[in-house]
Structure 1
Amino acid sequence: MINLMQKLWPHLVREIWVNSICASRLIPSQARFLFLRLAGLRLRRCTVLHGVEWFGSGRVTFERGMTLNRGVVVNHSGGLYMGENSGLGPGTLVITATHEIGPAAKRWGDGTTARVVVGRGAWVGANVTILPGVRIGEGCIIGAGSVVARDCRPHTVYVGVPARPVRSLEPVP
């Protein structure tokens, strides 16, 4: 029992620190990224609003100017990279883990993970779901409520379930 507690203790402390203390409204958003860095997340100067929930053990890297809005849920089992000045709208769900299809007796088979990448300057609207292994291109916009199941080209607007391209955007010179 003692060995089990010694193994679980770091995970319990991190869970309490990240999803309770760091997610609290009591921590100013300007300082929250510092608290999250103490938990081992690789964050540059960015904004993480209260109520963001984290789970997983993969590498998280956020570049300068990145923003996570309220109520975002981040499964970072497969890793997550967010480029400079990118942002996730409120209620967005980032999933980096899934399961193979199993036999009839148990359809959820072995687990798999795949890294999610959100490119520089990309804007992901409210209540978007991003599935494992997706790369959202630089300067891309994902419309609210979309489900991103495939890679998204840079400087393109995507909407719908599944997300489909609807408009090209001019790249910034």
Structure 2
Amino acid sequence: MPGRVRRIITNIVLMRHIVPARTRVTMMAAIGYEIAPTAVIRSRTLIKTSRLKVGERSFINHSCFIDDGEIVLGAHVYVGPRTVFAATTHEIGHSAQRAGRSVVDSIHVGDGCWIGANVTVLAGVRVAAGCVIAAGAVVASSTEADGLYAGVPARRIRDLPT
């Protein structure tokens, strides 16, 4: 199924509040997304990419934004509401228009991560396995495993037990 058609079906039909989460995931897998059958994706999430991969027992809460590019969430990843995976950025243009040519990159979130509410993960970032990203953080660079990250930009606050 072409990516555009897949995105239209997903965002207009499947992301409605009345569609049960299990039905949503089953239908998304049927139209070509790589979504584990045990994953949960809540309503009102806007999915621009046709290259979304969600691992076993992962959970995406309500009203998230998943941009173009390859977005990969490992197993047991929990994503808080209103999280943004912003995989598109721009080259810096001349002074008359600073937002130059669009550049799309991937975002990878490792197994076992917990991404808090209202987090923004930017293009090209890899969140390593076992990390916690505090609510409201902006993850502008890749992380190291098993750390608590917070702030704008997100910084490692402390080590987490393995």
Give the shorter-chain TM-score range. over 0.9
Match of 2:35 among 19, 40, 43: 43
Q: Which blocks of at least 5 consecutive residues in structure 2 are unaligned?
A: none
Equivalent AA in structure 2 for residue 68 of structure 1: I
Provide runs of 4+ in structure 1 moved above 2 Å.
13-16
Residue 102 of structure 2 corresponds to residue 115 of structure 1 = no
Distance 1:67 1:10 in 2: 23
1:54 maps to which residue? 47
Distance 1:81 1:161 in 2: 23
Distance 2:69 2:17 in 1: 28
2:22 maps to which residue? 30
CA RMSD of aligned residues (A): 1.5
Match of 2:116 among 101, 106, 125: 125
Displacement of 1:25 in angstroms is 1.6
Equivalent AA in structure 1 for residue 49 of structure 2: G
TM-score, with normalisation over the residues of structure 1?
A: 0.87
1:95 maps to which residue? 86
The percentage of counterpart residues that share the same residue type is 32
Greater Rg by CA? 1
Contact 2:7 2:49 in 1 (8 A): no
Distance 1:135 1:170 in 2: 20
How many residues are treated as equivalent by the alignment?
160
Q: Which blocks of at least 5 consecutive residues in structure 1 are unaligned?
A: 1-8
